[in-house]
Amino acid sequence: MTAVQGAAPFAFGEAFTNHMVVSSWRDGSWEPPRLRPYGPLPMDPAMAGLHYGQVVFEGLKGHRLVNGGLGVFRPLEHARRFQRSARRLVMPEFPADLFVGAVEDLVREDGPGLPDDPALSLYLRPVLFASEASLALRPARAYTFVLLAFVTGAFFSDRTDPVRIWVSRDHVRAAPLGTGEVKCAGNYAASFLAQQEAAAQGCSQVLWLDPVERTWVEEMGGMNVFFVHGTGEAAEVVTPARSGTILAGVTRDSVISLATRRGLRVREERIALEDLRERCLAGDVTEAFACGTAAVISPIGGFCDAGETWTVGDGRQGPVTKELRDELVSVHRGLSPDEEGWLHRL
């Protein structure tokens, strides 16, 4: 495997591999997925997905295992979420067995070239889009599935150093009964303005609030968020409850399972921004972290809001965050027992 573009240190989304998998849906059925060289796809200027936004995608990772083999983390769960996203946008569901098979084909072909560096992984991006050449205002009648991959390091360039997060009060990510809990392209395009504002404030990511009351913490841009209350045996892990506008993160689900297995109390509940602020300032919130396929588990050092910064704990990565991250990475690389059957070995 040789990167099509990009080079070390492998910035996110730039060092693509040499192959991709493509399948088309026409006349009510999917063609067999085909492994082919990575390259441009033909596109009609009237392609429906380009105009009306029928585009959903996923993100999952392949890893080099300690025994030299390759593994993919929870591909079936990603396949199921991909199907839920497609249903919400009135698109044909890509069968789970074809999804997992496409992942296997691409990882077997390009995965052996993944550098033997535990900090690197093979990020897999399945995307489904309306490819019919029609501007009729209705669900399209032809669709294309593409699976591509790129080598990546840490999503945040400083790896496990805590990041600062900007609280967005002027924008919303998704509305109730909308598309917030599915992985559609429009959700990400709508987040870019807030992300740009966060960067201008020296912050790495955005913390979204609920779209109605603008009071409740929801999630971050492209990742879920967790807070640790207390320390030692009294530590509790808290994350915003899913409300229909929060993505059902696969890593989020994994973190909840890992924390529970470690004997930590985990609460999924509504979190008021003002309560979070007060708890941070009082030292009751001792740790915070973001989690997602790209971010894995990344510590948060503080939140910036309306000219005020609330430091989390001592501003450094805390022990609960580190333990959960280390355990998740150990499962990724086949270092620890896979009690949940999450690792799909190839």
Rounded Cα distance, 181 and 295, in Å:
19
**Residue 157 scores a pLDDT above 90:** no
Rounded Cα distance, 76 and 102, in Å:
12
Which residues in the chain are classed under CATH 3.30.470.10?
15-152
pLDDT at 159: 55
* Residue 41 three-state SS: coil
Position with higher pLDDT, 11 vs 268: 268
Rounded Cα distance, 116 and 118, in Å:
7
pTM: 0.94
Q: What is the CATH number of domain 163-336?
A: 3.20.10.10
pLDDT at 161: 84
pLDDT digits 0-9 by tens, 213-249? 999 999 998 899 999 999 998 999 999 999 889 899 9
pLDDT digits 0-9 by tens, 323-340? 999 999 999 999 998 999
If pLDDT is split at 50, 70 and 90, which confidence band does 9 have?
low
Fold of 15-152: D-amino Acid Aminotransferase; Chain A, domain 1 (3.30.470)
Region 183-203 average pLDDT: 95
Q: What is the mean pLDDT of the chain?
A: 94
Cα dihedral value 277, 282, 284, 285, nearest 10: 40
Which residues in the chain are classed under CATH 3.20.10.10?
163-336
- Three-state SS string over 176-235 comes to CCCCCCCCEHHHHHCCHHHHHHHHHCCCCEEEEECCCCCCEEEEECCEEEEEEECCHHHC
